[in-house]
Amino acid sequence: MNTSRLRGFVAVLFINTSRLRGFVAALFVCMSGSVLAATQLVPVLTDLSSPTAVTNAGDGSQRLFVVEQAGDILVRQPQSFTTTVFLDIRGKVMAGGERGLLGLAFHPDYSTNGRFFVYYTRAGDGAIVISEYRVSPKPDVADASERILLTIPHPTNANHNGGILAFGPDRFLYIGVGDGGSANDPPDNAQNIDTLLGKILRIDVDHADAVAGTPYAVPADNPFAKGAGRDEIFAYGFRNPWRFSFDRVTGVQWVGDVGQNAREEVDMPIVRGGNYGWRVYEGFACTGNDLTLCDPSKYRLPIFDYDHSGGRCSVTGGYVYRGAQDTLPGGTYVYGDYCSGEIFAWDGTTQSLLLRTPLNISSFGEDEQGELYVVGLGGTVSRLAAASCTYAISPVRETFPKDGGAASVAVATAPECAWTAQSDAPWISITGGAAGVGSGTVNYTVEPYAGKAKTRSATITVAGQSLVVRQTRLRPLIRR
Q: Which member of 276, 321, 344, 364 binds Ca ion (CB under 5 A)?
A: 276
Q: How far is the CB of 299 from Ca ion (least distance, A)?
A: 7
Nearer Cβ to Ca ion (154/300): 300
Give the chain's count of helices (H) and strands (E).
2, 35
Q: Which member of 168, 277, 317, 401 binds Ca ion (CB under 5 A)?
A: 277
Strands 281-282 and 264-267: unpaired
Dihedral Cα 433, 437, 440, 442, nearest 10 deg: 20
224 binds Ca ion (CB under 5 A): yes
What letter does residue 476 receive in the DSSP assignment?
Answer: S
Report the residue number whose CB is nearest to Ca ion.
277
**Residue span binding Ca ion (CB under 5 A) among the ranges 109-117, 169-177, 244-252, 273-281:** 273-281
Nearer Cβ to Ca ion (5/63): 5
Nearer Cβ to Ca ion (174/276): 276
Please give the sequence-ordered ranges of beta strands (E in DSSP) within 326-367, or none if there are none: 333-337, 342-346, 351-356, 361-366
Nearer Cβ to Ca ion (262/434): 262
- Please give the Cα distance from 13 to 210 (Å, whole number): 47
* Residue 144, H or E segment: strand 142-152
Contacts with Ca ion by CB under 5 A: the residue count is: 5
317 binds Ca ion (CB under 5 A): no
Q: How far is the CB of 138 from Ca ion (least distance, A)?
A: 42
236 binds Ca ion (CB under 5 A): no
**Residue span binding Ca ion (CB under 5 A) among the ranges 56-64, 222-230, 370-378, 424-432:** 222-230
Distance from the Cα of residue 430 to its chain's centroid: 39
- Cβ(340)–Cβ(351) below 8 Å: no
Nearer Cβ to Ca ion (261/459): 261
- Is the peptide bond preceding residue 395 cis, with omega within 30 degrees of 0? yes
264 binds Ca ion (CB under 5 A): no
Strands 392-394 and 405-412: antiparallel
231 binds Ca ion (CB under 5 A): yes
Nearer Cβ to Ca ion (280/467): 280
242 binds Ca ion (CB under 5 A): no
Nearer Cβ to Ca ion (132/305): 305
**Residue span binding Ca ion (CB under 5 A) among the ranges 248-256, 272-280, 384-392, 425-433:** 272-280
Nearer Cβ to Ca ion (46/316): 316
Q: How far is the CB of 229 from Ca ion (least distance, A)?
A: 5
Question: Which residues are 430's β-sheet partners?
Answer: 444
**Proportion of the chain in helix, strand, coil states, percent, rounded to 5:** 5, 40, 55
Among residues 126, 340, 103, the alpha carbon closest in space to that of 243 is found at 103
- Cβ(59)–Cβ(105) below 8 Å: no
Nearer Cβ to Ca ion (244/276): 276
The contacts of residue 30 (CB under 8 Å, 6+ apart) are 350, 352, 353
Nearer Cβ to Ca ion (165/270): 270
Q: How far is the CB of 45 from Ca ion (least distance, A)?
A: 33
Classify the phi-psi angles of 105: left when phi > 0, otherwise alpha if psi is within -120 to 50, otherwise beta: beta
Q: How far is the CB of 78 from Ca ion (least distance, A)?
A: 39
Q: How far is the CB of 285 from Ca ion (least distance, A)?
A: 10
- Please give the Cα distance from 70 to 121 (Å, whole number): 10
- Please give the Cα distance from 342 to 337 (Å, whole number): 6
- Please give the Cα distance from 86 to 80 (Å, whole number): 15
Q: How far is the CB of 305 from Ca ion (least distance, A)?
A: 8
Considering only residues 45 to 104 of the shown chain, the ones binding Ca ion according to CB under 5 A are none
Site of interaction with Ca ion (CB under 5 A): 224, 229, 231, 276-277
